[in-house]
Amino acid sequence: MCLGIPGEVIEFLPDQPDLARVDVSGVRRVINIGLLVDDPPRPGEWVLIHVGFALSKIDEDEAAAAMQFLEGIGQAYEDELAALAESRIE
């Protein structure tokens, strides 16, 4: 119930400004975007979906930054493992 799922906005419904069709992994659903009326999402942008409403836009820059941090950690780890493998104290 507290589920928040990311979905991509595909299109708005022509006669209903509050509603938009989103795509979640190939599944399409109509949701209410009324909570984002101050900064409505455009087709192609991603939103967080909760009980049929979009609660927030997913900031792609922030997401990229988060991924960069995580990938960096992963890379640093790989480097360390590699270094560990190379340095043998005999």
Partner 1 sequence: MRFVDEFRDADTAHALSAKITALCEPGRQYKLMEVCGGHTHTIYKHGLEDYLPEQITLVHGPGCPVCVIPMGRVDDAMALAAEPDVIMTSFGDMMRVPGSNGSFFDAKARGTDIRMVYSPLDSLKIARKNPDKRVVFMAIGFETTAPSTAMTVLRAAAEGLANFSIFCNHVTIVPAIKAILDSPDLRLDGFLGPGHVSTVIGCRPYEFIARDYGKPVVVAGFEPLDILQSIYMLMLQLSEGRSEVENQYSRVVPWNGNTVALRAIGETMELRPYFEWRGLGFISHSALGVREQYAAFDAERLFAVPGVRVADPKACQCGEVLKGVLKPWECKVFGTACTPETPIGTCMVSPEGACAAYYNYGRLTRQRVKEASQT
Partner 2 sequence: MTADRGAGPAQAGPAQAGWVQEALRVHDEQEHGRRGSPQPAPGTVREDLVLERIDRARRSRPRIREERITMAHGAGGKATQTLIEAMFLDGFSNPLLQPLEDAARLEVSGARLALTTDSYVVSPLFFPGGNIGDLAVNGTVNDLSTSGASPLYLSAGFILEEGFEVRDLGKIVASMREAADAAGVQVVTGDTKVVERGKADGCYINTAGVGLISHDLDLGVASARPGDAIIVSGPIGDHGITIMLARGELDIEADVTSDTAPLNGLVAGLLAATPGVRALRDATRGGVATILNEIARSAGVGVLVRENDIPVRTEVRGASELLGIDPMYVACEGRLVAVTAPEAAGPALDALRAHPLGGAAAIIGQVTADPPGIVQLKTAFGGTRIVDLLVGDPLPRIC
> Contacts with partner 2: how many residues (CB under 8 A)?
11
Task: Choose from partner 1, partner 2, none: what does 65 bind? Cβ within 5-8 Å by kind.
Answer: partner 1
Select the span of 9-17, 24-32, 82-90 touching partner 1 (CB under 8 A). Answer: 24-32
- Determine if 50 is a binding residue for partner 2 (CB under 8 A): no
Contact 9, 41 (CB under 8 A): yes
- Which residues contribute to the site for partner 1 (CB under 8 A)? 1-4, 6, 8, 24-25, 32, 34-38, 46, 48, 50-53, 55-56, 58-60, 62-63, 65-67, 69-71, 73-74, 76-78
